[in-house]
Amino acid sequence: MTGQGEQGAGVLRLVALSEEPIDAAAVVASVEDAGAGGVVSFTGVVRDSDGGRAVSALEYVAHPQALDALRSVAQAVADDFPVRALAAVHRTGVLAVGDVAVVVAAAAAHRGEAFEAARRLIDDLKASVPIWKRQVFATGEPEWVGTP
């Protein structure tokens, strides 16, 4: 995987922004842990419509400090949940319908903890990491989503 990010043996196993396609299986594999009885992942994929309008592509643009914000979000989840490992990778650049835009994974001793941590990780990532989305509709009309 290219792009900005980090990999390590601690709880935050993989936190990155990537201009290259994301290998969802590799993100999930990064949280493997012998003490984890539950591993949960979420993969966000570019869909072909939004609000009843056909979408042809998306572009994700990250603020220069988006990676720091992503690390902070992941660390907050690690601090609040008894997880063994977490991972979060978000694409930047132009994506086509069907491309993977984001993958998060959480490993915990029990499935409930893994589900809760993964849900919180993706929700907080989308709510507070400064990555903006520009949709291009089939008509050619662009629309920015989630910008300040």
Q: Please write down the HEC assignment for all residues of 17-48.
A: EECCCCCHHHHHHCCCCCCCCEEEEEEEECCC
What residue segments make up the domains of the chain, in order of their start?
5-139
Average pLDDT, the chain: 94
Statement: residue 46 has pLDDT above 70:
yes
Statement: residue 140 has pLDDT above 70:
yes
Q: Measure the CA–CA gap between 86 and 78, rounded to whole angstroms.
A: 7
DSSP annotation of 148 reads -
**Options 3.90.1170.40, 3.20.20.70, 1.10.760.10, 3.30.300.30; CATH of 5-139:** 3.90.1170.40
Compare 1 and 78 and report the one with higher pLDDT. 78
Statement: residue 2 has pLDDT above 60:
no
Joined together, the tokens standing for residue 73 give 């979000």
Joined together, the tokens standing for residue 82 give 């008894």
Statement: residue 16 has pLDDT above 90:
yes
Exposure of 88 in the CB half-sphere (CA atoms within 13 A) = 27
Residue 141: CB partners within 8 Å, gap ≥ 6? Answer: none
For residue 147, the model assigns a pLDDT of 76
Compare 4 and 103 and report the one with higher pLDDT. 103
Mean pLDDT over 30-46 rounds to 97
For residue 9, the model assigns a pLDDT of 57
pTM (predicted TM-score): 0.93
Identify the band that residue 37 occupies on the pLDDT scale cut at 50, 70 and 90: very high
Query: pLDDT tens-digit profile of 83-127?
Result: 999 999 999 999 999 999 999 999 999 999 999 999 999 999 999
